[in-house]
Structure 1
């Protein structure tokens, strides 16, 4: 299964193969500022299943270990290559045509969450989980999505 997505102007196009490994919402103040909203939504994919199919990216946000990629033309935040997790790409799920089906399975940085936000997330973390926590999170997501049709699953 291949899913295509694009930034707001359509010049930056992306594609992913397969289903996400986990879906999430991040409440950190950095995501709030980069989205001009209460949180960012994303879906984690193996790096090997992700590609930029058209357009150019520009690095934005903090210029540290994690690389936040934006469309070089319209500056839409499209994906992140997380520091210390080189085998993964965190795609902003609204860039994917099926983003409405990608409920956040976990929420991160809830210590910075705006008080009025409510999420249907299964897991909540006050900070961003350490990389060694992800195997159990991914296993829980896979187990839940093998029995619940439609939650966090891109259409076939």
Structure 2
């Protein structure tokens, strides 16, 4: 399924924190690391790497949760939903939890990271699987492939 027309919006479970994505995501991912399992209460977390300039909080004030140091996991202070993550140092993108989108049915991860920590039954259907994270030299090709695939999927 193709990503809907921009902008797309989402928010936490209670709706107090809302965000808008106005630029195409760079990459769609699932992370199986034990930290993501514990923070999401699930087998993995989902995320879209969204260019910083194409992401805005439009309602509410998220608070830092999770480990509080690095990275900065942003949560709703009321319902405690993990909404997005800002990396430090900033890398030009925000990792938005795909499940926080108003409609996430189109989301499908291209890559999964930390497959080395995956629960044995937890599959995502991602095309690429990495024991930890992809190497820095692999990201440009992965981003190009994801963006090309999104633009070639019929509406």
- Scaled by the length of structure 1, what TM-score is found? 0.89
1:105 aligns with 2:144: no
Counting matched residue pairs gives: 150
Q: Give the aligned partner of residue 3 of structure 2.
A: none
> Shift in Å at residue 86 of structure 1?
2.6
> Is the CA contact (8 Å cut-off) linking 1:58 and 1:71 kept in structure 2?
yes
Secondary structure of the corresponding residue to residue 36 of structure 2: helix
2:99 aligned residue (94, 98, 101): 94
> Is the CA contact (8 Å cut-off) linking 2:23 and 2:55 kept in structure 1?
no
Q: Where in structure 1 are there 5+ consecutive unaligned residues?
A: 151-156
For 1:1-35, what per-residue CA distance to the aligned partner results, in whole angstroms no more than 9, with x for missing partners?
Answer: 21111100100011110321111110000000001
> Is the CA contact (8 Å cut-off) linking 1:25 and 1:42 kept in structure 2?
yes
- Structure 1 distance, partners of 2:150, 2:108, is 11
- Structure 2 distance, partners of 1:3, 1:148, is 18
1:71 aligned residue (49, 61, 76): 76
> Shift in Å at residue 148 of structure 1?
3.1
Q: Where in structure 2 are there 5+ consecutive unaligned residues?
A: 1-5
Aligned Cα root-mean-square deviation (Å):
1.5
Structure 1's 133 and 64: CA in aligned 2 closer, same or farther, altered over 3 A?
Answer: farther
